[in-house]
Structure 1
Amino acid sequence: MSRSIAWRLALAIALTCALVLSVIGVFLYRSLASELAFRDDQALLGRLEQMRALLNDSDSLEALQARPRLYQNMLGNQDSVLLVNRQDGGQVIAINPHQQSLPALQPIPRNRAPQRADIQTLDATVLLAGMAQGPAGETLSVTVGKRLNERELILARYRLNLYGAVGLGTLLAFCLGGFLLRRGLEPLRSLAHALRGINPRSLDQRMPVNNVPTELKEPIQALNAMLARLEDSFERLSQFSADLAHEIRTPLHNLLGSNSLALNQSRSPLEYQEVLASNIEEYERLNRMAENLMFMARAEHGQRPLHLQAINLRKVGDELCDYFDALAEDRDVRLGNSLSGTLTADLQLLQRALSNLLANAVRHAEPGSSVRLLRRDEADYCWIGVHNVGLTIEPQHVSKLFDRFYRVDPSRSEPGDSGGLGLAIVWSIMQLHGGQVQVNSDSSGTLFELGFAHLGEH
């Protein structure tokens, strides 16, 4: 339960409600306490004024003493205190039901109306003292007071009710919040149920975006995009497995066929040597394939370190043209090098990438045409290109050219080619450099370009 989002959110809602209810409860409690205190203080002020008027209007103090019910009824309960004393300390009226000891208070002058600031609180009792004029102009001191027991009892009951209300409100918020959250998370459970039904055979399924909460639309769209990438990657992996099996099967069949023919009957040493030489070619083909696949695997996992250096592009282009000169002559193709300046890159990887592009360009170039090495610069990239004139690559093939074992025309594979891995290696090399590869093919020719980010080259 501690890891459940619904329960944790319900607990957070409950705690928030408890905090809000507590703040409201404290505010209401203090408002009630203030109102009760104001009411008691006003009653005490009025009581002093009433006693002043009663004493002033009385015929004699003896008459007041003879009729105590007059002021006892005015006081009204057992928590009230009333003391009237003469200047010599003699008591005229003494009402103190609880016989509590009262301190001597400084009475306010007779000619000044009492105020709340004159009231003092001592031993859970509010007291107010003032001077008054009795019959025949006699000066008297009046002390009125009230015990706070009733007020404290009211406040205690109110506090208890507040505690109960806050506790009950928190519990209700927790239960109701948990229930609503579980209802609100139902789309997530439906999504999880739908996802459990997806397997490698149903990667084409997508999660519905309509009729889902707005908050879930963006995650579901991202999930659908991830499923699309997984579907594409799975299809590529399946195709790669099939292509790999096909590419390996061809040399293995050649090896098995040649060896079976050699063993069917006795042959001369020269014929056996020819069989072994043919086998070596097939082994070399398998070896190149294995090395290329291992290189791409290491490149994709970043296990092939880069040895960056400033490279003289003119020199690299001349060396590559010299290397491919014999192949170009056989196909009646001319090689041209227009590279210049320097480039910061890994020399071996750059040579390998350009070699693969040049080999493809020469193989697919029209006889009598030219294959050129070009350079162009943009603000962020230096582009090294290989251009040839030949058959136009259809748009549906362009996005797959750098897939492993992909060939636009499988029938044109040759024993010395890369087995459909040449352009895939070029892509891996550019990924290691953090660069780009782009292809443009139209009636004017086909241009493969390698984009290297500028690192101070010129």
Structure 2
Amino acid sequence: MSKSIAWRLALAIALTCALVLSVIGVFLYRSLASELALRDDQALLGRLEQMRALLHDSDSLEALQARPRLYQNMLGNQDSVLLVNRQDGGQVIAINPHQQALPTLPPIAKDRAPQRADIQTHDATVLLAGMAQGPAGETLSVMVGKRLEEREHILARYRLNLYVAIGLGTLLAFALGGLLLRRGLKPLHTLAQAMRGINPRSLDQRMPVDNVPSELKEPVQALNAMLARLEDSFERLSQFSADLAHEIRTPLHNLLGSNSLALNQSRSPAEYQDVLASNIEEYERLNRMAENLMFLARAEHGQRPLHLHPVNLQDVGQELCDYFDALAEDRQLRLDNQLHGTLTADLHLLQRALSNLLANAVRHAEPGSTVRLLRRDEPGYCWIGVHNTGPTIDPQHLNKLFDRFYRIDPSRAEPGDSGGLGLAIVRSIMHLHDGQVRVSSDDSGTLFELGFARA
């Protein structure tokens, strides 16, 4: 229960309702207490005014003393106090049902109307004292009062009712909140059941989005997008495993075949040297493949740090042209370096990426054509490209050229071939630079470009 979201939310709802009900209860309680106090104070003020009028209009004090029931009926209950005294301290009227000790209060002048500020509280009793004019102009002191037991009793019952109402309201909010939340979270259980049915063999399944609440549509859509990425990655991984096995199997078969032939019969030292030289080529091919795979793994996990600094593009292009000049001359090609300006990048990674592109361009260019290193500036990006004139690449291959081990013609494996990893390394290098790669091919030739974001 402590780990249930529904019960936690229900508890939060119940606590919120308890807080709201408590605030409302305090407000209502104070409002009632204020109204009761105002009622008692107004009654006390009116009672003093009545006694002043009654004493002023009476014929004699003896006549008032002879009718005590008149005052008791006027007071109306056993919690009222009424004292009328002469100046010499003699009592005219003394109604004090509980015989409580009353303090001596300074009376207000007889010509001033009493106000609430004149009322004082003593021993759970509100008291008001004032001067009055009796028969024949005699000056009298009047004290009226009322015990607060009835008010406190009313407020106590009201407090009890508030406690009960707040407690029941909190329990009801907790129960209803838990019930409604469990019903509202049913789509999550449905999604969980659908997710349980997804395994590596059914990554093409997607979460239903038609009947889910609007608040869950965006997470479900994000989950479906993640499943699509997982499906694509899983397919790429499966294809990568198959391609890797195929790429490794070929040199291993060559090594096994050549060694078996060499061991089947005696050969001359020159023939053994030829076998060893052939084996070394296959070992170098396997070594290049292992190094390239290691570089790709480190690049994808961010383990290859970047050393960024301004690079002179013309110098980089000239060095690459000088390096590939002999190979280009063998293929009757010309190299044209049109790079210029500077670029902030990792020099070694930039050289490796351009070297891979230039090697592909030289390998596939038509004899007698020119391979060019180009620079184009666009808003936000600097594009460095390698252009060659050769066979047009079918559009269906363009989006796959940067995948690992992908070849348009798998049979064309030449010495020094990267094993289908060269363009994949180029894309990893650009990802490290937060850049882009793109390729276009038409009748005018094929152009591979590296896009570096401008600062």
SS in 2 for 1:405: coil
Secondary structure of the 2:387 match is strand
Equivalence for 1:345: 345
Residue 125 of structure 2 corresponds to residue 125 of structure 1: yes
Q: Distance in 2 between matches of 1:48 and 1:359?
A: 114
Distance 2:280 2:118 in 1: 118
The separation in 2 between residues aligned to 1:187 and 1:58, in whole angstroms, is 85
- Report what 2:355 is aligned to: 355
- Partner residue in 1 for 2:192: 192
Question: Helix, strand or coil: the match of 2:452?
Answer: strand
* In 1: Cα distance, 2:410 partner to 2:65 partner: 130
Q: Which amino acid aligns with 2:24?
A: I
Shift of 1:145: 0.9
Give how far 1:80 is off. Answer: 0.9
Question: In structure 1, the residue corresponding to 2:121 is in which secondary structure?
Answer: strand
Separation in structure 2 between the aligned mates of residue 315 and residue 117 of structure 1, nearest angstrom:
97
Shift of 1:146: 0.7
Distance 1:100 1:152 in 2: 18
Q: Match for residue 273 of structure 2? A: 273
Partner of 1:171: 171
Structure 1 SS opposite 2:411: helix
Matches within 5 A, 1:126-145: 126-145=126-145
C-alpha distance in 2, partners of 1:148/1:433?
A: 83
CA RMSD of aligned residues (A): 2.0
Asked if 1:410 is matched to 2:414, the reply is no
Q: Which residue of the partner structure matches residue 432 of structure 1?
A: 432
- Alignment map for 1:40-79 (pairs within 5 Å): 40-79=40-79
Paired with 1:154 and 1:310, the residues of 2 have a C-alpha distance of 86
**Aligned match of 2:36:** 36
Which residue identity does 1:132 align to in structure 2?
A
Query: In the alignment, residue 424 of structure 1 is paired with which amino acid?
Result: A
Secondary structure class of the residue paired with 1:202: coil
Counterpart in the other structure of 2:25: 25
Offset at residue 379 of structure 1 (A): 4.5
d(CA) in 2 for partners of 1:166 and 1:413? 83
- Superposition pairs for residues 222-371 of structure 1, below 5 Å? 222-371=222-371
Q: Does 1:10 align with 2:22?
A: no
User: Quick one: distance in 2 between partners of 1:6 and 1:171?
Assistant: 15
1:199-248 Cα offsets, whole Å, 9 max, x none, are 11111111112121111111111111111111111111111000000000
Is residue 389 from structure 1 mapped to residue 389 from structure 2 by the alignment?
A: yes
Give matches, 1:74-85, under 5 Å.
Answer: 74-85=74-85
Opposite residue 34 of structure 2, the aligned amino acid is S
User: Could you tell me which amino acid in structure 2 is paired with residue 96 of structure 1?
Assistant: N
CA distance in 1, matches of 2:33, 2:383: 83
Amino acid at match of 1:176: L
Which secondary structure does the structure 2 equivalent of 1:401 belong to?
coil
What secondary structure is seen at the aligned counterpart in 1 of 2:273? helix
The alignment partner of 1:245 has SS state of helix
How much has 1:54 moved relative to structure 2?
2.9
Q: Distance in 2 between matches of 1:365 and 1:218?
A: 49
Distance 2:53 2:341 in 1: 115
Q: TM-score, normalised by structure 1?
A: 0.93
Aligned equivalents of 1:345 and 1:45: distance in 2? 92
User: Counterparts of 2:112 and 2:342 in 1: how far apart (Å)?
Assistant: 104
Cα distance in 2 for partners of 1:10, 1:80 equals 51
Matches of 1:311 and 1:201, distance apart in 2: 48
Q: Which deviates further from its counterpart, 322-331 or 219-228?
A: 322-331
**Hey, what's the Cα distance between the residues in 1 that align with 2:341 and 2:35?**
91
> Aligned pair 1:114/2:114, yes or no?
yes
- Distance, in Å, in 2 between the alignment partners of 1:88 and 1:425 is 117
1:175-208 CA deviation, whole Å, 9 max, x = no partner?
Answer: 2222222222222222222222211111111111
Q: Does 1:204 align with 2:204?
A: yes
Aligned residue for 2:420?
420
TM-score, structure 2 normalization: 0.94
3-state SS of 2:201 partner: helix
State the AA in 2 paired with 1:10: A
Amino acid corresponding to residue 354 of structure 1 in structure 2: L
d(CA) in 1 for partners of 2:331 and 2:162?
98
CA distance in 2, matches of 1:284, 1:200: 36
Change (3 A) 1:50 1:241: same
Hey, what's the Cα distance between the residues in 1 that align with 2:435 and 2:10?
50
Q: Between 288-297 and 116-125, report the one with greater CA deviation.
A: 116-125
Equivalent residue letter for 1:317: G
Distance 1:132 1:37 in 2: 25
Structure 1 residues 291, 103: CA separation in 2 closer, same or farther (over 3 Å shift)? Answer: same
Question: In structure 2, what is the Cα distance between the partners aligned to 1:41 and 1:101?
Answer: 21
Give secondary structure in 2 for the equivalent of 1:200: coil
Q: Once the 2 structures are TM-superposed, how far is the Cα of residue 393 of structure 1 from its aligned partner?
A: 1.9
Stretch of structure 1 that moved more, 243-252 or 420-429 = 420-429
1:151: which partner in 2? Answer: 151
Report the alpha carbon displacement of residue 3 of structure 1 after superposing the two structures with TM: 4.1
Please give the secondary structure, in 1, of the residue aligned with 2:297: helix
Q: Which stretch of the first structure deviates more once superposed, 252-261 or 266-275?
A: 266-275
Q: Distance in 2 between matches of 1:78 and 1:281?
A: 120
Give 1:309 deviation, angstroms: 4.5
Task: Please state if 1:214 is matched with 2:234.
Answer: no
Task: State which drifts further: 370-379 or 322-331.
Answer: 322-331
TM superposition shift of 1:24: 0.9
The letter of the residue matching 2:226 is M
Alpha-carbon distance change, 118 to 347 in structure 1, aligned in 2, over 3 angstroms:
closer
